[in-house]
Amino acid sequence: MSIKISSQFDAGAIEIVNATSANAIDLNIRKDSHADITQWFYFRLQGAQGQACTMRLLNAGQAAYPAGWEDYNAMASYDRINWFRVPTTFDGQVMTIEHTPGMDSVYYAYFEPYSFERHLELLDRAQMSEGVRLLDLGSTVDGRDLNMLVIGEPAAGKKKVWVIARQHPGETMAEWFVEGMLDALLDPAHPFARQLLNETVFYVVPNMNPDGSVRGNLRTNAAGANLNREWLQPTMERSPEVFLVKQKMHEVGVDLCLDVHGDEGLPYVFVAGSESLPNFTPEQAAAQKRFSDDFKIASPDFQDVHGYGESPYTEETLTMGSPHITHAFGCLSLTLELPFKDNANDPDPQVGWDGARSARLGAAVLQPVLQSIRALK
């Protein structure tokens, strides 16, 4: 059987330069469908069982975040359920994956994928729980459903907690995080969940960018828009996903918001806040610190030593989700970043950071959310 490379499946993305010999497979990372951004890859290799394969991604040095390839190992799977890391090197221009497949068919990806089918299953499973409504906010550029889960019974005095994920579709760890959070929140025996649903209503958008997810984009939707730069003036033509979610936020209100992302370069879990806003108050700074301090207790995977640091206020600031929401609602709104690589504070050579660890972090976030909500009273 000759070797074959393919990517015609949900989120698949690669360009074949040469694939005639297992020890000299040359590939290019494909651009986002409507934007000049290269980073996400996901492809299938067949016919190379037992052969030492060398796969060179020739344009890795021209990727959107070339620092993301430093100290990085690609992910692989035989069944798309169990993923593991494989040896990967980067010389500043070419990234090389070396692996001897144990099966006839193997998949390689930038990070553990989260399929659109699993997304739909997550929504369906959640709506079967008591006190959950599945709402359709509208349609994406490609005509896919943009869904939101409302968890808890709205009532006077209850706080509104928003969690949105995958504005950047290739950051699949964000939806793995949401899955873990929902499993915990909908567990009737979970003590933090029980307390939270007595005091709050959750508004959860597990996937802000379904089109980009299916298309295999890293950062943009089907119109080429980076959704996390569309919050100031979204339109139904270019960024309906942000337009519809922002519209709903103004309809129901926001007391706390988490915007979940993945970071290509930093091997840590951390948050980015809204301290660059000119009207950022000492009370808001204290709320950010309280959340971080409580999250460190809830999960050793979270830390506040490494992160983006303070950045100046610019014209771009209010185009981004978290600072825009803080500015609009005066609430605690944080960007939560999870790594593509590993957690350097607790590395796992076999899997690195993966979907399961993201989900466990999602379950742990209930504790700092509860403490933050109670501090508002």
Minimal CA–CA distance to 308: which of 290, 281, 335? 335
Higher pLDDT, 266 or 310: 266
Residue for token digits 């983006």? 308
Gap between the Cα atoms of 287 and 186, Å rounded: 26
**Between 173-185 and 116-127, two packed helices, what is the crossing angle to 10 degrees?**
10
Rg (alpha carbons) of the chain, rounded to whole number: 21
Whether 88 contacts 72, CB under 8 Å? yes
pLDDT at 311 over 90: no
Query: What is the identity of the amino acid at 140?
Result: T
pLDDT at position 230: 98
Gap between the Cα atoms of 12 and 5, Å rounded: 11
Which tens digits make up the pLDDT trace of 128-183? 999 999 999 999 999 999 999 999 999 999 999 999 999 999 999 999 999 999 99
- Of the pLDDT bands very low, low, confident and very high (cuts 50, 70, 90), residue 310 is confident
Q: What percent of the chain has pLDDT over 90?
A: 99
Which tens digits make up the pLDDT trace of 78-96? 999 999 999 999 999 999 9
Kind of pairing between the strands at 200-205 and 88-90: unpaired
Minimal CA–CA distance to 43: which of 12, 81, 79? 12
Which tens digits make up the pLDDT trace of 197-238? 999 999 999 999 999 999 999 999 999 999 999 999 999 999
- CA 8 from chain centre, in angstroms, equals 22
pLDDT at position 309: 87
Model's pTM, two decimal places? 0.98
Q: Which domains does the chain have, with CATH numbers?
A: 4-109 (2.60.40.3120), 116-375 (3.40.630.10)
Which tens digits make up the pLDDT trace of 28-63? 999 999 999 999 999 999 999 999 999 999 999 999
Residues recorded for the chain: 377
Mean pLDDT confidence for 64-89? 98
Q: 139: helix, coil or strand?
A: strand
Active-site residue numbers? Answer: 337
Quote the mean pLDDT of the chain: 97
pLDDT at 377 over 90: no
Rounded to 5 degrees, what angle do the CA atoms 59, 343, 356 make? 95
Whether 175 contacts 182, CB under 8 Å? no
